[in-house]
Amino acid sequence: TSTQPTSGPRPVRANRGSALTARSWATEAPLRMLQNNLDPDVAEDPDNLVVYGGTGRAARDWASFDAICRTLVDMADDETLLVQSGRPVGVLRTHEWAPRVLIANSNLVPQWATWPEFRRLEQLGLTMYGQMTAGSWIYIGSQGIVQGTYETFAAVGAQLAERRPADHPHAGDDSLAGTLTLTAGLGGMGGAQPLAVTLAGGAALVIECDPDRARRRLDTRYLDVIADDLDDGIDQALAAKQARKALSVAVIGNAAELVPELLRRGVAIDIVTDQTSAHDPLAYLPSGVALEDWHDYAAAKPDEFTDRARESMAEHVAAMVGFADAGAEVFDYGNSIRGEAQLAGYQRAFDFPGFVPAYIRPLFCAGKGPFRWAALSGDPADIHATDAAVQELFPDNAGLQRWMALAPEKIAFQGLPARICWLGAGERHLAGLRFNEMVAAGELSAPVVIGRDHLDSGSVASPYRETESMADGSDAIADWPLLNALVNTASGASWVSIHHGGGVGIGRSIHAGQVSVADGTALAAAKLERVLTNDPAMGVLRHVDAGYPEADSAAARVKLTVPMAVQ
């Protein structure tokens, strides 16, 4: 029918339990995961369909959301729904190995790929910003990023430990105990920082301009304390550092003002990073602008606001460089703040590295990245059972064992219960097959979905982040994520997406995602085995091609065929 009831904001919650509302789990799964992305416990601004990361949306508008849900409920297992930047545009006859949903979000022809042009098209209702897992329906709340953030801070701890002289009283300690980390941003992703630092044993001082965001992290136990003011924050954080106690303290204020102030005061800070939404200048609060004026001002005068945000970011980044000059460990945490500061004319913006070349690339060479799964039943017991299964499967993976010992105790579920752990090539398919067996055997009360962030080893081209400083200079080559999406489509993933601009903003990244359903069937096992073998294999191949010896070893270990390998 041509007339649909007008749809608008309302609280959305994924269906729970083992009863289907769609015709099969192949379509019930994307339906529940789309709904879950907009669950008020999961999304940052569900009324506006914003899931996380500035304006990362799950669907173009409410009418599109309703149409996607209606369509998924009716679809057969040989049909594929096409989603163009959050709007369902057609259902085509395919086959049962094909993805049930194919998604393309925020893609623009390169010369047109700028924020002003993107926003113009967005205002015309022609596109939406999909971020990474917002528009591809596998965001699982801040927990999704906690482990990656934890791994990063743990790697920082290990590097600091390496630099300590042998006669240092804490020579062998690679935790962050006795260190103070300064960062900003307590949004969907950034909110993981205080917990990750304390899990690694350190003290954290986190600046956030929006008190509601800080309170939300306190409520979900990601954050320990909100300080009365800057002085109180400094006192509490330094006392924790002194006592080698893990404690996270938020200070409400503007990072563009407070980070330079902390540098001026010479506060003994060891590690500095940032996770404000710097990738989108309209999502970074410039200094001198009141919180309540932010969004009206940005909407009314986007160009002026952008200039002011960039100038503030330049001040923020200059202070970060100041901390680096003073000997602190400083890194960009994947939000483009260096690129934005450089656009404001600050020359030394790239004087500190991005976190990928600094800490993560060796993991990417082994195809390792943020593997995640969610229990469609909504029952936490299903995740607890899979937690145990993963611990049993990989007894020798020390990092994973350390994480899995902490996660169940420390991570509050948001929306459908889910888990994340970094697994690589040769590992992921084993977990997928085991989960599928558990569904088949009735050890889990409903199917699980298995996916990942687009921030993964072979699925993203992003020269300011995942592909910064590649050994062969191939940072901006974007063939890899496209091949990755094609490979996952060819291998039997349940939904596959190609996005532009996630993480670091429009014009700066191209990336792909996949999610696969483990519904306990033999068909699912066959698909999972291929997808979860081939998807991380793309990461290994990408790094073999770039000349990383660690990737050569990984390729040999998992027996990949590499036609151009030196014989």
Query: Binding site membership: which residues?
Result: 53-54, 131, 188-190, 208, 213, 254-255, 275-279, 284-285, 333, 503
For the CB of residue 175, give the shortest distance to ligand NAD in the complex, in Å.
21
For the CB of residue 334, give the shortest distance to ligand NAD in the complex, in Å.
3
Footprint of ligand NAD on this chain (CB under 6 A)? Answer: 44, 52-54, 145, 148, 184-190, 207-210, 213, 254-256, 275-279, 283-285, 333-335, 455, 503
For the CB of residue 559, give the shortest distance to ligand NAD in the complex, in Å.
30
**Residue 309 or 439 having the CB closest to ligand NAD:** 309
* CB count in 10 Å sphere of residue 172: 8
Ranked by CB distance to ligand NAD, the top (closest) residue is 187
**Residue 272 or 555 having the CB closest to ligand NAD:** 272
Indicate if 209 belongs to the active site.
no
For residues 290, 294, 300, 305, the Cα torsion angle rounded to the nearest 10 degrees is 80
**Residue 202 or 501 having the CB closest to ligand NAD:** 501
Give Cβ neighbours of residue 129 (< 8 Å, ≥ 6 apart): 54, 55, 56, 57, 105, 106, 118, 122, 135, 280, 501, 506
Question: Is the separation of the CB atoms in 250 and 225 below 8 Å?
Answer: yes
For the CB of residue 145, give the shortest distance to ligand NAD in the complex, in Å.
6
Which of 69, 209, 365, 421 does the annotation list as catalytic? 421
Give Cβ neighbours of residue 514 (< 8 Å, ≥ 6 apart): 451, 452, 485, 488, 493, 494, 495, 496, 497, 531, 535
* Distance (Å) of CA 239 to CA 143, 247, 555: 28, 10, 47
Pinpoint the alpha helices (H) of 446-548: 479-491, 522-545
**Alpha carbon distance 161, 68 (integer Å):** 51
**Alpha carbon distance 280, 284 (integer Å):** 7
Find where tokens 């509302």 sit: 21
Query: Binding site membership for NAD(+): which residues?
Result: 53-54, 131, 188-190, 208, 213, 254-255, 275-279, 284-285, 333, 503
Token pair for residue 442?
A: 């009735």
For the CB of residue 522, give the shortest distance to ligand NAD in the complex, in Å.
36
Tell me the torsion sign for CA atoms 287, 290, 292, 295.
negative
Nearest Cα neighbor of 472 from 369, 537, 542, 554 is 542
**Residue 115 or 333 having the CB closest to ligand NAD:** 333
Token pair for residue 260?
A: 């330079």
The side-by-side arrangement of strands in the sheet containing 180-184 is 225-226, 247-252, 203-208, 180-184, 271-272, 329-330
For the CB of residue 187, give the shortest distance to ligand NAD in the complex, in Å.
2
Length of the chain: 567
**Residue 160 or 258 having the CB closest to ligand NAD:** 258
**Residue 334 or 539 having the CB closest to ligand NAD:** 334
For the CB of residue 191, give the shortest distance to ligand NAD in the complex, in Å.
6
Phi-psi region of 306 (alpha: psi -120 to 50; beta: other; left: phi over 0): alpha
**Residue 101 or 504 having the CB closest to ligand NAD:** 504
* β strands within 65-165, DSSP E: 79-84, 87-93, 101-105
Burial of 329: CB neighbours in 10 Å, binned 0-12, 13-18, 19+: buried
| End-to-end CA gap in the chain | 62
**Alpha carbon distance 59, 64 (integer Å):** 6
For the CB of residue 553, give the shortest distance to ligand NAD in the complex, in Å.
25
Active site residues: 421
